[in-house]
Structures are given as C-alpha cells and as structure tokens.
Chain A
Amino acid sequence: MPQTQRLYPYNFSSGLHLRLADPYDPSDESHMFSWGRAATGGDDAESFDLRADREWKSLHVELEAHLSEEELGRLLPKGSALERETALVVSVRCPTTKYRHAVKLTPSAGGVWKGDLLLARRDLRSRVELQPRLIRTSTLPSAPEELASHVFAIVAEGRPVRLFLDDVDRPIRGTVRVMWEDFRSSTNEWKKRHHNDLYFLEISDEMPILWLNERHVSLRAVLHDKSRKGINAGLQELMNGWLAEVVWLQLFTSSVGAIHFEPEVDEVVAPLGWRRDVLKAFVAKMYPDLQDETAWLRKLAELWRSPDEVGDLTSRAATVVQTIVRSQQRFTASLRAVEES
C-alpha cells in the first residue's frame, strides 16, 4: 500500500528506537506508577497511559535510544567522533502547554545512548510526546554528498513515544455518553427552545453527550424495550442506527473543523483527544492510502475548506458512517424483527 514519506537529500534513518524504563516520582519515591500501555496509541507510536494516576507531581524515567551500528555507518563518515560531531536529543513536547525542551542522551555502547528525563506535572497537560533524534552538532564541509553536512541536521529519527496524562485524550471506544433529559426544563436555552426535538448532541473537548428528550415517553419506551421481535424491536433497531449515524457524522464534522490548518505556512496540527481518534477511524476507511498523519490531516483540512470538494468529503464520511453503524445489517434486522412478530 502506498505511503507518504519525507524524502531527505542525504542518508537518513528512521530506525532510531526509544525505550522508557523505571518510572518513579522523586518527590514521593513510594509512589507506584500505573504504567500501562495505552489503547489509544494505535499503530503509529508507542504510548503509555498515566491517566488513571492522579497523585504524582514529578516523573523520572530512564531513556535508552538504539540505532544499529550498520545504520550509523550509513549516516556518518568513517571515523566520526560520535560524541563530538553528533548528539542524540529527545525532544519533549506537550502540545497543550506548549512545552518543548530537549534532553541530551550520552553515548553508551555501540548504537546505544542513555539518559534521564525529569518531568514536572505542573508543566504538562493532556499528553506528552518524546521524539528521539540523532543530529549533527558540527558542519562537515568535505562530506560526501550522500551525507548530511549542516549543523543540527537531523540524520536519524524514531517514532515518538506518547504519555497520556489526562482524560481529555479518550480512546474512541466509549466516546459518547448518553443522557436523558426533558428538554422543556433544560438549563440549556437552545435545547429548551427546541423542546420537541428528539435529541441534542453536546460536543466538547471532554466526552460528547448525546441528550435524548425524556419528554417523548414513547422514544424511551422504544429504545429501552427488551423484546427481540415485534414492532418495537424493529423500531429500536432503526432508531439506534439512525441516532448513531447522526452522531457519528456530527463527531466527524466537528473533528475536521477542529484541525488547525495554516495553508500559508503549511502548518497543520491535529485536534486533541477524541477528535483525533475519530478522524483516524474515518481516514482509515476514506483514504486508506494516506497513512502519514500530517498528510491526511492536510488533505482533510483542504477538502473541508474547498467549496467544490467539501460535498464529496461529507458524502464519503456518510458512507463510512454506514459501515461503522452497520446500517444495512440493522435495516435487515429491523425488517426481520417486524416480520417475525
């Protein structure tokens, strides 16, 4: 399957691998971190989930980066003084608090660098990304043309390791909470004004809430009916499918609209939390060839802003929604439920 790749004008390696070990809180060494691999990491980065851990103040971890000696030989001239001419830096970034610092690791054995990272919780929110990079620290005026020669050139990079710190980065499963309310007595003026509606989707950075209108007693009766056959069972199947379709489409449009895109400077930043997960799920089905996150974010943002193409984008999204919701199967099931009554 084709993938978007960045082409470097010199030998470059993406084979750098960063490992984190032995987490502890120096301000409370008795604190045991719940250091679980995150379900949200997906296939693009290693992730650790600290969301359930709300007690820590600082986090110390050991960092170890690896790059095979064979790769190193391809990136640097023979006889290079690794310590003098290069540096292994881990770029530590927290998008929410705009925290960006570098930690320099020390060369250990061949192709291995080690160091320590100390993070203060007061500086961070939502998530942190750690990206390892091997960079040149000096120019190489007489370098062969296939080798990077400028100072601070990135010669090797690894996939970022992500630490999820807060609940705003929720996995896609369980994205929407369902609540009942009589819209006539809602504190939300909009809902109150539209008190005959069946539902209202409240979208926020936290978990979106699907509000169902308790005023419609029959709606509740249908959606809560336990029978597997009959009119109610058929209606329930259809109603669930219909609501799910509407909700998913709204989540998608809200997520595309939240992509921060500056075409003038070619800057594109993914939305945080559930929105990013929603987009990933849709893109995998809409544009399976686009695997690089920056590429698909840019594509979505461009389509969204194009009067000619936004229609196609939403049509494709509606197709994906039907797949996610299994609309056809639901329709068949509803027919069967009614026929078997």
Chain B
Amino acid sequence: MINKAFSFCCTCVLLLLSLLANAQQQNTEKGPVNEFFRSNDKIYVIVGVLLIIFAGIIIFLISLERKISRLERRDHQERQ
C-alpha cells in the first residue's frame, strides 16, 4: 500500500513539474545567490549539479547500509 501511495505522489509531483516547465520564463532575478551562480561562465551551476548527484549517491549508500544492518540484526536475533 505504501509503495502505491508513494508512486502516486511521485507521479503527481512530476506532472506538476511538467506544468511548471510549460509556463517557463527566463530567470533574470538579481541577488547575491543568482550573481554567484552566473559568475565565472556559470561553472558553479555544474559544481552544484555534481554536489546534488554526490549527495544522492551518499544518501542511497546510507539507506542501503541501514537496510543491511536491519537484516543483520534480525538474523542475529533468529540465531539466539
């Protein structure tokens, strides 16, 4: 059940995102954050991209680690 609800939520969010993409406007906002990301030929955008991917991989590894730990604990209890 949880999985179905989760995938439904994901689909809704993605559909909403596609609506956002339709209503696209060029981001011309000023401000220190925007200035920073546009400086140096926008290299910081790609640094951000890589940090997001890296964070995703680390979060995935941590969740895998916790799942394996849970299985090991269950296995340990079964043996006693």
Are A and B genuine complex partners?
no
